[in-house]
């Protein structure tokens, strides 16, 4: 067996992984560009927000699991983010009003949580830490975006967010652990995570906060 450093994501990860990675990158980049659009920023700011939102979670994940930082070694990742920033820049502002940012973020959250968990498993991370790597992959980019935009972090908002990422990542890891096909596991887990986040957006679902029990 080749040494761990010689293994590549293409060897370690299921066949669906590159597509899920691109999907997560694209929609998270859009959510970053939309955060800049809400504040009437320049194209340079659009590009920066798109890039940092798209690659933020994956960068932290790769550093923690000992993988090469994906976007440093593959120009396609940064290219996807920059193209998405340009798409938002040239399209009419009325297309992106309302909850567009939240919905793009929900898609990216689910896709990236599954991809992050899959990559961690592929690099030999045990199931529980692998699921947590999925959560980190799905959430960190949005947290960085909110901090840079001067908004309260998504972590501090009442609706379910990290819980949706945990559902997607945990369900994927659980299904893979019992031998379910990676395509099926990714589809079911991604839809479950997106469904929970969508319900949270639509119905303002939230976990009980500290003190809500009447203490």
Domain boundaries, the chain: 15-203
Q: What is the pLDDT of residue 200?
A: 94
* Contact between residue 125 and residue 45 where contact means Cβ atoms under 8 Å apart: no
Length of the chain: 215
Is residue 215's pLDDT more than 70? no
Q: Would you call 163 exposed, middle or buried from its count of C-beta atoms within 10 A (0-12, 13-18, 19+)? A: middle
Tokens matching residue 67: 């993988």
Angle in degrees, 0-180, between the axes of helices 162-177 and 182-203, rounded to the nearest 10: 160
- DSSP letter (8 states) at residue 8: -
116-165: pLDDT as tens digits: 999 999 999 999 999 999 999 999 999 999 999 998 888 887 789 999 99
Q: What is the pLDDT of residue 211?
A: 75
58-109: pLDDT as tens digits: 999 999 999 999 999 889 999 999 999 999 999 998 888 778 888 988 999 9
- DSSP letter (8 states) at residue 14: -
Query: Measured between alpha carbons, how far is 116 from 71 in angstroms, rounded to an integer?
Result: 14
Which 3 state secondary structure label does DSSP give 47?
A: helix
Q: Report pTM.
A: 0.88
36-58: pLDDT as tens digits: 998 899 999 999 999 999 999 99
């Amino acid at each position: 067996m080749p040494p761990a450093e010689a293994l590549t994501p293409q060897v370690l990860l299921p066949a669906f992984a590159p597509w899920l990675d691109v999907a997560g990158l694209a929609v998270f980049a859009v959510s970053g560009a939309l955060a800049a659009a809400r504040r009437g920023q320049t194209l340079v700011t659009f590009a920066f927000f798109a890039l940092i939102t798209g690659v933020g979670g994956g960068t932290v994940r790769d550093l923690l699991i000992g993988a090469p930082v994906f976007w440093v070694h593959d120009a396609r990742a940064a290219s996807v983010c920059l193209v998405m920033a340009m798409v938002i820049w040239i399209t009419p502002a009325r297309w992106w009003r309302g909850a567009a940012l939240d919905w793009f973020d929900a898609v990216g959250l689910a896709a990236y949580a599954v991809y992050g968990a899959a990559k961690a498993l592929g690099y030999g991370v045990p199931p529980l830490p692998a699921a947590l790597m999925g959560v980190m992959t799905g959430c960190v980019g949005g947290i960085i975006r909110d901090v840079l935009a001067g908004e309260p972090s998504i972590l501090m908002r009442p609706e379910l967010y990290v819980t949706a990422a945990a559902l997607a990542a945990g369900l994927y890891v659980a299904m893979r652990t019992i031998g379910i096909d990676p395509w099926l596991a990714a589809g079911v887990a991604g839809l479950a995570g997106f469904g929970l986040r969508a319900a949270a957006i639509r119905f303002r679902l939230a976990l009980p906060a500290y003190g809500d029990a009447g203490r």
